[in-house]
Every structure is written in C-alpha cells, then in structure tokens.
Amino acid sequence: MSLFSENFHVFFFFFFFLTLHFSSSSAASIPAVGVTFSTNATVYLPRPERVASALRSLKIACVRLPDPNPKNIRAFTYSDISLLLSIPNSFVPEMALNQSNALKWLSHNVVPFYPHALISSISVGDDVLKPSSTNLSDSVLPAIRNVYRGLHQLGIRKISVSTTFSFVDVVTTAFPPSSAEFRKPIVQSLVKPLLEFLSSTNSSLLINMHPYKLYRSHPEIPIGFALFQEQPFNFRDDLKTGARYRNLFDMMVDSVISATATLGHDRIPVVVTETGWPSYGGEDEGDATEDYAHMYNTGLLKHLQSGLGTPLRREGVAEIYIYELFDEDGKKTTSERHWGILYPNLTKKYEIDFSGSAESGRGTDDCFQRVMGSLLLTLILVEVLVQQLVLEDRVNSRA
C-alpha cells in the first residue's frame, strides 16, 4: 500500500507539472493570423458585411483596414474578429499639428463602434518613410501622441497606438540578422522615441515585411528559402548568435528584433502588418505566380502554426496580416495589383487554410486544458482517497 502510494505521489507531481507546462507553453506562441482588407480596389467588391461573414467562416482572427471608413468598421461589429485601423498618411500632418484633428477622426471611426467592433490598435500612417513628396518623419510622432491622448480623453485605454514601417526603409540588412540596425538618419529623431513610446504604452512595432521584395533584390537567395521549402541544405547560419535559419521570413523578423535590441528594447512585440506574394507579375516578374503565392502563404501559415517562433524569439511575432484579401486594380505595376487571396466573388484563388491559426488554436488549446483539468481533478480525488485508505490502514494496524 505505501509503495503504491509513494509511486503515486511521484506520478501525481509529474502529471501536475506536465499539465502546468502544457497550459503555459502552448498558448503563447501561435500568433493571430489575419488579412489586409483594402477597399481601394477599382473592381466591384461585395458589401463589407458579406466580406466580414466570409472572413468569419474562413476563421480569420484579425483584419487590417488600411483605408478604414465607418461602413467597413461597422461590418465587423459584434464579431470576434479584431481590427487594426490605419490612419491614411494624408491625415498625419494635420493630426500632428492639432489634437482636435485627431479627435475628429476618432469620433468618426472609433467612438460609434467601439467596443462592439474589437478595435485593437491604430496605426498612425502606413509605410510612413516611403520616399515621396510628403516626408512624414517629423509629423508621425506628434500625431501618434495626439491620437493617444485623444483616445484617453475619450476614456478609451485598451486601443494601442503605433505606426507602420516598411522593412526595407528602416532596417539596414537581414544578412545576418544579428548585424541588423535601424537606418542612421531616423534613429535619434524617430525610432528611439517611438520605441520608448511603444514600450511605455505596451504597444507593438508594426512592420510591412515582404520576403518577395528582398528575394527580388538579392538574386543569391534560393527561391525555396523564400518560399518555406524545407530542404536539407536550405539554411543560413548566423555565426554570431549560432542561430540557424530555414526561411527568409524568420531572418527578417529576427533582423527587426536585433535592431530594436541595439536600442535597448528587446521585448517589444513585433506585428507583421503586411506579408504575401503576388500571383501574377507580367513579363519582368517571373516569380510572381499563383504556385509561388500558394507556396508562400501556405508555407507561412504552416510555419506559424508550428508555434516554433523564430530563433531569437520563442514566441515569434505577435500578430500577422497576410497581404492581401483582394487584388487592387488601381495599383501602379502589374505585380502590385495581384496579391489578393480571394476573388471578388469570395472564392479562394488557391487553397489556403486559416483554421489552425490563433482563433481555432485557442479553441483546441482550451479544450486540451479542460481535458487536462478534469484529469487533474480526478487524480486529486484519487489521491485523497488513497491517503484516506493509508490512514485507515495505519489506524487498523495500530488497533
């Protein structure tokens, strides 16, 4: 009896820690996966309500609206899809100048819908450093502060505020990730104060990250490395950190993480606001094909669902938005127009399955925890029973 009881104790504690281990580790590492839904297409698109319900049935966890308007936001009220709203670049300078401009935008796009629409974050501008006639590098921080203060004035404290960079505009290199830094001219004036703001407000660094573009400008990168193809010799080592990379995406994420670490902020969550692959590119973009787009997006989802994170960050990226839901006919070059994963009739261009991402991931995780929980409870009851038997045994033998 006592031998059994002792073994049982060992087993009990082993099981207890196993449960703890699983319930704490499996939840964190699968990011929420969503899509960018731009309504700036020139072709006919279905009503936003129909798009929202299609996205729900595809099990998409979050949606990024690069050109939000009340009609689109309303379509996502009373759903479990969370929203990332981007304030268009053209509004940024005026919001930097005057807080009432920020409040005006919030009163149209947030106040009527929040919290029935799960607005999780606002990006003040998108790709704010892209070479263009309006240089936003001076206005983005003041605009962020005005939006942040505006939200607080309205009593809204759970929406985080940030801005969106493009990888190529802000990070020096991805080879190797450990040598990546932010580009010099913007470090002191923009990146450092932004990271300080993000870290003090629990917000994330938002970044558009396109392995397709890096692959195009670096002919030495094998296509399989960009497309998540696992092959025995398909890896790059970072000799400084000892990390081994099996795909270009992880290298880019870790470059961003290294760059933030050089400025003393190595814990800021990274959200990938855009990533994808074009399915058609015209004559000079032979790698923009439906097959490759399919390989990239499904390879990416499978990689995220593995929960492995990246070599430098166990939990990986915090959220990720596939670029994009529909093709945009208004874009300049042929390949820019063909990043969509759905046709306007809401059928898929190619097979892609979101059901393993955080939304449903949370479900199976809950289920797993519930099963483990009830097993644990049973074990506790058995343990109590055994203790009682042992006690009775001792009392009996004394008597």
Catalytic residues: 274, 328, 331, 336
3-state DSSP assignment of residue 1: coil
DSSP state at residue 348:
B
Query: In this complex, which beta carbon is closest to ligand NAG, that of residue 201 or of residue 378?
Result: 201
End-to-end, the C-alpha distance of the chain in Å comes to 18
Rounded-to-integer distance, Cα 104 and Cα 280, Å: 40
Nearest approach, Cβ of 374 to ligand NAG (angstroms)? 29
Rounded-to-integer distance, Cα 96 and Cα 201, Å: 19
Query: In this complex, which beta carbon is closest to ligand NAG, that of residue 112 or of residue 185?
Result: 185
CA dihedral sign of residues 221, 225, 231, 236: positive
Residue nearest to ligand NAG (CB): 330
Query: In this complex, which beta carbon is closest to ligand NAG, that of residue 36 or of residue 310?
Result: 36
Rounded-to-integer distance, Cα 363 and Cα 355, Å: 10
Q: Which of 234, 253, 258 is nearest to 244 (CA)?
A: 234
φ, ψ (nearest 5 deg) of residue 243 = -80, 145
Helix, strand, coil tally for the chain in percent (to 5): 45, 15, 40
Give the pair of three-digit tokens for residue 105: 């935008």
- Contact residues toward ligand NAG (CB under 6 A) are 40, 66-67, 88, 98, 100-101, 131, 135, 137-138, 185, 201-202, 330, 343, 345, 347
Query: In this complex, which beta carbon is closest to ligand NAG, that of residue 105 or of residue 354?
Result: 105
DSSP string computed for 248-304: HHHHHHHHHHHHHHHTT-----EEEEEE---SB--TT-TT-BHHHHHHHHHHHHHHH
Query: In this complex, which beta carbon is closest to ligand NAG, that of residue 20 or of residue 43?
Result: 43
Nearest approach, Cβ of 197 to ligand NAG (angstroms)? 11
Nearest approach, Cβ of 90 to ligand NAG (angstroms)? 8
Nearest approach, Cβ of 112 to ligand NAG (angstroms)? 20
Query: In this complex, which beta carbon is closest to ligand NAG, that of residue 157 or of residue 398?
Result: 157
Nearest approach, Cβ of 46 to ligand NAG (angstroms)? 11
Q: Within 13 Å, how many C-alpha atoms sit on residue 1's CB side? A: 11
Nearest approach, Cβ of 124 to ligand NAG (angstroms)? 14
